[in-house]
Structure 1
Amino acid sequence: MTSQWTVANPRQAGSAFDFLEKINRCTDIDQAMDCAAAEFARRGFNTIFVAGLPRGNETLDQAVLAFRTPASLMGYYRTKRIIEFDPIIKRTGRSLMPFEWSEVRDLRDDDPRVRELWGVRSEFSLHNGFVVPIHRHVSGPAGVSLGTDKAQDEIRNKPDLALMALYLFDRVACLCGAERKAPGLTEREKEVLTWVAVGKTAWEIGEILGIAKRTVDEHTHSAGRKLGAVNRVQAVAIALRSGLIAV
């Protein structure tokens, strides 16, 4: 059975790749966040957090790379030091897969700070959200969190959203000077990813390059591992953004 996060053909992620082109043209963080805010607003999201997970005694401002959220809500986050108890932050550090806020929301939580936090978010019509954990950042675990007024099970096109969040994080990290150097790929790995990028299957790539399908899969897996990607679509996206391949 195919995972809900697997995109078999990168062509199916067309709108996400369109976003990649737009975000890569942004030359500063404000421009990148304006671009992202417009794109995510079209999908029903009205707040964005791009952040590393707090380490040690780091404050929220030290952890956050960029955000688009009401100033009063951000002020509440700072004053209450939500980094110490927010279940979304805790889940982001443990999870490898994207998740909805509703998956960690428990109105019966024994911690009154958590119950208050959910109540405050609801006052801003943030009834749910979508989080993409990122575990390949040079400074440690990180994530992108999108807030929405959508109810549980109303968030659609999650693979597309996950790719867009990854593109946004990479661009913001790059503009912040926090991006690590792109790893090197072999020429064959670049060839394989280039054909993946234009929608070819592993069997078709094998026929084109004169190698076995199994060998194609091995090159794809190797490239993805080097790039810290969770699937071949993300591997293509990272390789394109890093200039390792071009289509």
Structure 2
Amino acid sequence: MWGGPDDQAGTTETTGEPTETEEPAETEEPTETEEDGDAEERPEGVSEEEFENGPVPEVYLSATSLGNEQRDPDNLNAKADVGFAEYEEARENDAHQPGTCCANCGDFIPDKNGDAFGACAEVDGYIDGADWCTIYESLPEPEVPEGMSESDLPTAEVPEEYRTADSQTGETRDPENLQTQADVRLMESVDAIADGLAQPGQSCGNCAEYIPDKNGDGWGACAKVEGYVATEDWCVVWEHVTAEL
């Protein structure tokens, strides 16, 4: 039976559907533009135009390259004209040889101001050791000094001017505290990079421990390793010059 009016007293009837609470609109995180990403790879305060086309800092304007070529700021190629590319992209170029990069090119000028970039005696703009271009020029291989054989070089006593010399970042060589070339796997950087032992952009020429040629015979030395060392060599104790500048 239906109840009477008293039974239905106090009951209420709701009208309309309940409303849903609106969620606040999601805000999108700002995305990094391609230009911002490129800026992170450039030295602070250097525009994309300067990075690609120069001018480079004054310390590089007429500096001497690893192959002893002096840079002429009025006679340089544009990057676009020489197939300039980063190493991975360069590998797709038929002209590229495995292991070759700016760090073992005779025209490269390593970092001199601590910004991690160098310059080139033939190409304008900022240059990274891991870059490459079609006018790549191998460093000349030094001749074996008179009275020595090639097998003597790894363990030979270096000339007097190197024995306690400072490396290119100021570390003094201690002839009583050196590692052997065999222990540090010293080899030509082109081979080391091609075989995956070294990263593109690594060579003795841009290593903090390297002591460049002091007597004109084309050889250098190392603050950490015994024997004769060439600019185009590499070993496992490689340390970028930038780390000590």
Instruction: Please classify the TM superposition score into its range, dividing by the shorter chain length.
Output: under 0.3
Higher helix share: 1
Q: Quick check: which one's strand share is greater?
A: 1
Greater RCO, 1 or 2 (C-alpha within 8 Å, sep 6+): 1
Greater Rg over alpha carbons, structure: 2
